[in-house]
Structure 1
Amino acid sequence: MAKRVVPEAERRRRRPTKGGAVLSERTIVETALRMLHEHGREGLTARRLGTALGADPSTLYRYFRGMDELTLAIGDELIGRALRGWEPSGEWLADLREVGLRIYRAYLAHPEAAVLTANRVSGRANEIAGDEAILGVLRSTGLPDPEVVRIYQAFVDQALAFAALDAASLALPEAARADDEAVWRSTYARLPAETHPHIAATAKLLVARMNDSAYPTALEMLLGSAAAAVRDGRGGGTGG
């Protein structure tokens, strides 16, 4: 049987821990984010987290059923940070662009957490609020709901997939990341036209672009496709 998690109001620690912190879900999540940044995914354990909080590791299970539930809460916190302070402008294309970039940047600010959580679905408050907001922006175009959901899926998965991809690069040791980035110049740029004519023809462009994220370009392509759907009469909205 799964462990019972005590409601937040009942489980809040009334006395500070040895480290002077009053425990709450938010305190635990923020500490876990800091540990991920400092020690990586392998460094986030209940024992180490308890030590960082100045509490017995077993105390964590009053707030989360296990480390996996904590992982979901970390992902939900990243979504919350992405959308904190955002309000729709009524221009649907601009709003989607802003939301996509906010999600991408929030995850990249915490690369280890992004790799850990970008593929998860938490069903928690921030995630649900974000999904409601994105669907609301898309439905404001007048697109039929099947088209709304099709674009919504592509939009969200694209932002999270690029966040995970680029975060994985940022999470590499610095030397390994530098070696990867150097390959475009040290290998691809030196391939002869006789054997690799297409790479040779575009080598300078590849060197200039391939170490930068393709997310802004991919996002604009997706938004262009969504705008075409509205223009083609599949939706009656005029925003953007």
Structure 2
Amino acid sequence: MGASERVVPEGARRRRRPTKGGTVLSEQLIVETTLRLIGEHGAAALTVRRLGAALGCDPSAVYRYFKDTDELLLAVADELIGRTLNSWRPTGDWRADLRALGLRMHADYMAHPQAAMLACARVTGRRHEIRSVDAILGVLRGAGFPDAEAVRIYHVFVDQTLSFAALDASTLALPVRARELEARAWRETYARMPAETHPHIAATSGVLVAEMDRSGYPAALEMVLAAAAGRLAHVLEGSGPPGA
């Protein structure tokens, strides 16, 4: 019997008896345990065998909820989206709302860098992702963006956020020694470049070292929001979006 054939309908999934650890399995418990294991052990943790051991159940019990580890990964990705949405409260100010959501998304992925590297490139098609797509489009359409512009800005906003999340997560996931060497390169190599050979690095070295020690996402987000505001101004003036 294939794994996909072992999936039990939603109503029949609850175990009649608790696991060895005394807990009753549920999709949410499996997702939360998987997220914890990925944080502790990286991508190698995403195996049914390791998950069964952590849950105190036979690994085959996981197949009652997920047909394979890829479906489980999509559920983990959707869980991260849900956590972000649950902590975000739109105010009606589209620019402030997108700023708050983008920064919240980035921060939540940074809290789970190992999972972020696995999840940022995935489209889950699940409940929380669908909620987020609708919410962001609602913010943009409510601000007055025409549908085509709202979709375009949504696309740029989300892809930018996820791209920075994946990039910054990969840095956080590096071994401590590797991260220290990267930071030292900016301080000890770039900060000491002579003006005779590298005049522009030498002229900006103090700012450069400080800037490269933090994520570029907040600045990039402001650039996207400013560009979107400019496009909206053209729409509201009746001249149509530039470059359309």
Question: TM over 0.5, yes or no?
Answer: yes
Q: Does 1:73 align with 2:78?
A: no
Alpha-carbon offset, residue 85 of structure 1: 4.1
Matched residues in 2 for 1:215 and 1:79: separation? 18
Alpha-carbon offset, residue 46 of structure 1: 1.0
- Residue identity over aligned pairs, in percent, reads 61
Q: Does 1:39 align with 2:41?
A: yes
TM score, norm. by length of structure 1: 0.94
- Further displaced range: 72-81 or 142-151: 142-151
Q: Does 1:183 align with 2:190?
A: no
* Structure 2 contact 88–104 (Cα < 8 Å) conserved: no
Which residue pairs with 1:3 in the alignment? 4
Alpha-carbon offset, residue 208 of structure 1: 1.0
Runs of 4+ in 1 over 6 A off after TM superposition: none
In 2 relative to 1, CA 2–22 (structure 1 residues): closer, same or farther, beyond 3 Å?
A: closer
Alpha-carbon offset, residue 43 of structure 1: 2.8
* Structure 1 contact 229–235 (Cα < 8 Å) conserved: no
Alpha-carbon offset, residue 98 of structure 1: 1.1
Structure ranking higher on relative contact order (CA contacts 8 Å, 6+ apart): 1
Which residue pairs with 1:149 in the alignment? 151
Q: Alpha-carbon deviations, 1:55-103, whole Å to 9, x = none?
A: 1111111111111111110000000000104332111111111111111
Which residue pairs with 1:114 in the alignment? 116
In 2 relative to 1, CA 35–93 (structure 1 residues): closer, same or farther, beyond 3 Å?
A: same
Matched residues in 2 for 1:154 and 1:86: separation? 20
Q: Structure 1: 5+ residue runs without aligned partners?
A: none
In 2 relative to 1, CA 2–15 (structure 1 residues): closer, same or farther, beyond 3 Å?
A: closer
* Structure 1 contact 8–24 (Cα < 8 Å) conserved: no
Q: Structure 2: 5+ residue runs without aligned partners?
A: 239-244
Q: Which of the residues 42, 47, 50 maps onto 1:48?
A: 50
- Further displaced range: 61-70 or 6-15: 6-15
- Further displaced range: 170-179 or 2-11: 2-11
Q: Does 1:87 align with 2:89?
A: yes
Matched residues in 1 for 2:153 and 2:236: separation? 12
* Structure 1 contact 193–201 (Cα < 8 Å) conserved: yes
Alignment of 1:214-229 (within 5 A): 214-229=216-231
Q: Which AA in structure 2 matches 1:3?
A: S
- CA RMSD between the two structures: 1.5
Aligned residues: 236
Matched residues in 2 for 1:14 and 1:136: separation? 42
TM score, norm. by length of structure 2: 0.93
Which secondary structure state, in structure 1, belongs to the residue aligned with residue 17 of structure 2? coil
Q: Alpha-carbon deviations, 1:163-209, whole Å to 9, x = none?
A: 11111111111111111111101111122222211111111111111
* Structure 1 contact 107–114 (Cα < 8 Å) conserved: yes
